[in-house]
Amino acid sequence: MPREIHPTAIVHPDAVIGEDVYIGPYCIVEKHVTLGDGCWLQHHVTICGPSTIGRQNKFYAYTSIGQQTQDLKYSAEPTYLEVGDHNVFREFCTVNRGTLPEAKTVVGSHNNFLAYAHIAHDCIVGNHVIFSNNGTLAGHVIVEDHVILGGLTAVHQFCRLGKHVITGGCSKIVQDCVPFTIVDGNPARTRSINQVGMQRHGYTDEQVASIRQAYKVLFRSKLNMTQAVEKLGEGDVTPEVAHMISFVAQSQRGIVGA
């Protein structure tokens, strides 16, 4: 369809609007915003800049995207938001720009953010991620691909969620979540591997078995994390286990325990 902008919408003349974009009633698109081809803004959507939004993104009513960071250190320097393609932001979602000069918040592609989800300043969110209602990230959080955030999950600043992690509803995450695991509770604990999630994404029985064995070494043995990582690194390891080892070894906040 051709570009369509409702007469009640306010679009800054310097905003860059792609082809086949729909901007509905009472939306606001500010200066220094780029909207890629095929984006759809339902109504009462606000997009602030500097923000670069990719192609085919859908923004439902009352989303607020690219607002300045809520970090009190911010001093009006130019900071940024980058959003990929084919994302869905449901009602009242909020995404903030980075904090320090030239810093940016990054959201990947093919993600689904349900109502009231929040992505704070300086976060990096991967691809094919689902945030259930009220899923909330504090600043500087890293979320790898295929993560599912349960409803009302809150993630502390500087935490990391490894790929294929799923969190239970109302979980409180204050440390890093090892890839391929299920994390649940307040305070959160690592409960098991995300076997169903991996099977749905085509992981073989052999891959799942290797991850399960690594999980047992990390969380069910009497070894501490340093010893467990050393043991897992002995001999040949699968790419999945290698990723788990690297993730744990690089942790700054510690690992959500079992």
Instruction: Give me the tens of pLDDT residue by residue for the chain, a chain 258 residues long.
Output: 578 999 999 999 999 999 999 999 999 999 999 999 999 999 999 999 999 999 999 999 999 999 999 999 999 999 999 999 999 999 999 999 999 999 999 999 999 999 999 999 999 999 999 999 999 999 999 999 999 999 999 999 999 999 999 999 999 999 999 999 999 999 999 999 999 999 999 999 999 999 999 999 999 999 999 999 999 999 889 999 999 999 999 999 999 999
pTM, entire model: 0.96
Angle of CA points 31, 37, 38, to nearest 5°:
110
CA 258/CA 244 separation, integer angstroms:
15
Residues carrying an active site annotation:
121-122, 139
pLDDT recorded at residue 235: 81
Q: How deeply is 183 buried, as exposed, middle or buried, from its count of CB atoms within 10 A (0-12, 13-18, 19+)?
A: buried
Helix axes 205-219, 225-232, angle to 10 degrees: 150
Domains of the chain: 4-140 (2.160.10.10), 199-249 (1.20.1180.10)
Q: For strand 94-96 and strand 118-119, is the pairing parallel, antiparallel, or unpaired?
A: parallel
**Residue 106, both tokens:** 């990054």
Q: Which CA distances in Å does 210 have to 5, 133, 180, 184?
A: 53, 33, 11, 22
Helix/strand/coil for 196: helix
**Is residue 207 within 8 Å of residue 219, measured between CB atoms?**
no
Q: Running DSSP on this structure, what letter comes out for residue 205?
A: H
**100 φ, ψ (degrees, to nearest 5):** -80, 160
CA 29/CA 21 separation, integer angstroms:
12
**Residue 26, both tokens:** 């009472």
